[in-house]
Amino acid sequence: MSNPLIDSLERAVQAAPDDVPLRLHLAEQLISTGRGEEAITHCAMALQHSPGDQTARDLMTRALIPAATGVDDAPSSAGPTASGTHPDPTEAEALPD
């Protein structure tokens, strides 16, 4: 489903790619709609123009860590087991000597 605000912001960013506040506004909207992966590119470009921009850094963190946005799509670092479930580290068995 298309979001008119995001569509408009994307066109505006295409017209003014060096406008950091505009790009960050787009990134924030993308994150708020669960499109954090798309926001990463915009945050990175904003940080290239303004490396010390705290807003850009905060948005990048939110885009990279889905839990910060309330979306629970982050893969477990342990990865799924053969059954497709994630292992419980508290149930790990000791390896034989």
What mean pLDDT, rounded, does the chain reach?
Answer: 81
Residue 3 vs residues 43, 61, 74, 75: alpha-carbon distances, Å: 20, 23, 24, 27
Whole-model pTM over 0.75: no
1-65: CATH number: 1.25.40.10
pLDDT in tens, the chain (97 residues): 689 999 999 999 999 999 999 999 999 999 999 999 999 999 999 999 999 999 999 999 999 997 554 554 444 444 444 445 555 555 555 555 5
User: What's the rounded Cα separation, in Å, for the pair 28 and 25?
Assistant: 5
Residue 54 vs residues 43, 51, 58, 59: alpha-carbon distances, Å: 11, 9, 6, 9
Tens digit of each residue's pLDDT (9 = 90 or more) over 36-63? 999 999 999 999 999 999 999 999 999 9
